[in-house]
Amino acid sequence: MQQNNGEKVRLNLGCASRPLPGYINIDLDTLDEIKARYPNIDFPEDAEVFQHDIFNLPHGDGSVDEVRSDSMLEHLSFLEEKQFFYEMRRVLRPGGSLVFSVPDFEDTVKLWLKAKDDWKDFYRNDDEAIAQQHWFGQYSYTTDQRWGYLTASIFGPQNSEGQFHKNCYTEKKIRKMMGFLEFDIAELSFFNWKDDRNRMIKVHAVKR
């Protein structure tokens, strides 16, 4: 699906519960599947989510103005990572923007090493456990215990096919990777996921 009406072509890859207006929203799951996973989120009535192949997008070389991908790249395997970034380089026009965020793996590892090694319970994924923030019996998103939310920060929540973490990122890796791909970093910053959880790295890179 490519826009040919003079508007900028902007993609939002791995949109999950965050489809954006003005973007072509793409995810592994359908909108109905996403709504079922996030019953407490109100989606716009005109929201659309497409199941395009992110490694072979239906867009010509240099035809896309912007690609966003928030908290998705850590779900790609080592081989998929390469495919993804080469596909981004293919579809983006010179001067086009690649905006993405990923967990700061270095910060997570530091928290893991400092946290208490105090296992409480096996992981649960039922509605009651989700409502109570069970997280291996810790009942909290805090990171003072290794076997709790920190475990899911490293390996993914694993509550559906796409919710496994298979890769990791640090600031230095990102800077070297962008240079290797001939992208310039316009901005790199840090924030906490959902304001109070694990630290994330946000990148705005521009294709040369």
Largest CA distance in the chain: 58
- Cβ(165)–Cβ(109) below 8 Å: no
> pLDDT tens for residues 20-32?
999 999 998 899 8
% pLDDT > 70, the chain? 97
Q: Which of 133, 22, 25 is nearest to 70 (CA)?
A: 25
The mean-pLDDT minimum among 1-5, 61-65, 118-122, 147-151 falls in 1-5
Residue 127 gets the label, from left (phi > 0), alpha (psi -120 to 50) or beta, of alpha
pLDDT of 4 higher than 80:
no
Residue 2: pLDDT band (50, 70, 90) is very low
37 or 106: whose pLDDT is higher?
106
Statement to judge: residues 26 and 73 lie in one domain: yes
Q: What is the CATH number of the domain that holds 23?
A: 3.40.50.150
In a domain, 194, yes or no: yes
**Which pLDDT belongs to residue 1?**
44
Task: List the alpha helices (DSSP H) in the chain.
Answer: 31-37, 78-91, 105-114, 127-131, 151-155, 171-180
- Strands 199-207 and 92-103, sheet pairing: antiparallel
CA 174, 180, 181, 186 dihedral sign is positive
> pLDDT tens for residues 98-109?
999 999 999 999
182 or 43: whose pLDDT is higher?
182
Mean pLDDT of 134-153: 94
**Which residues span the domain enclosing 44?**
10-104+169-207
Task: Please tell me the distance from the alpha carbon of residue 131 to that of residue 126, in angstroms, as a whole number.
Answer: 9
Statement to judge: residues 97 and 36 lie in one domain: yes
- Strands 199-207 and 183-192, sheet pairing: antiparallel
Q: Mean of the per-residue pLDDT values for the chain?
A: 93
Statement to judge: residues 61 and 97 lie in one domain: yes
**Which pLDDT belongs to residue 5?**
56
pTM, entire model: 0.89
